[in-house]
Amino acid sequence: MKKILVILIIAISYQSFGQNSYRIENRIWNYTKPSEYISRVDNFEKDIKTGQEYVKKQNDGTTLSTTDKILFSIAKTDSLQMNLVLASYKDNGNIERFTLKGYAETLGEYFKVNPKEDNPKNIVTVEVNELMIGEIKFYLISKTTNYTEQNYHYTSDYYVSEIQGKEFSIAAIYDNATDKQKIEKSILESTFK
């Protein structure tokens, strides 16, 4: 009996290794980061400023949140801007304005255009799909940029949902099949309580 109890405790401990819980208002999100990924400390001011300037240029009624709460940022290494995951939540003003589906479609249109990628030889594809993570409906906006001359491509995935009156999002960027699989698995197997 003691052996069974010890094995059960080890199995439970192994399963929860690397798993973290994050509070989004009254919901708890349980997430296990992919193996070989480390926590990253970032200064997001430059990215936020670039996003603010881009949204202002669009002038289509989309507003920026000033209540962003970053839950975590992880990456395969601390020195690259690739193969990373970022989770955050903020006010849901855009979801209220456009509905969740409408907001996802609006984001999909944003992602089709990137002012820094104006080379006509680059191929950009964007897909917007509905999916469930746990029992929560998400929209996945997936943008793949193919640099044909450099024979290189990467994908930016943006998962968005409304949880407890907040816009909850998970952003992931990857450039190879192995990291894509690890990142997708970590996100799709996460749970909400």
Q: Which residues have C-beta within 8 Å of that of residue 115, sequence separation ≥ 6?
A: 54
Burial per residue of 24-41, b for 16 or more beta-carbon CB atoms within 10 angstroms, e otherwise: beebebebbbbeebeebe
CA distance 51 to 189: 29
Report the predicted TM-score, pTM, of the whole model to 2 decimal places.
0.79
Tell me the pLDDT of the chain averaged across its residues. Answer: 82
**What does the pLDDT read at residue 115?**
53
Please state, for a pLDDT cut of 70, what percent of the chain lies above it.
74
Please state, for a pLDDT cut of 90, what percent of the chain lies above it.
61
**What does the pLDDT read at residue 179?**
96
CATH of 2-192, one of 3.40.1000.10, 2.60.40.10, 1.10.1040.10, 3.20.20.450: 3.40.1000.10
pLDDT digits (tens, 9 = 90+) for 92-135: 999 999 999 999 999 999 888 765 556 778 888 999 999 999 99
Q: How is the chain split into domains, by residue range?
A: 2-192
| CA torsion through residues 181, 40, 76, 18, sign | negative
CA distance 130 to 125: 17
How distant, in Å, are the alpha carbons of 126, 128, 164, 181, 192 from that of 27?
30, 25, 7, 26, 7
pLDDT digits (tens, 9 = 90+) for 16-60: 346 799 999 999 999 999 989 998 876 544 444 444 454 455 555
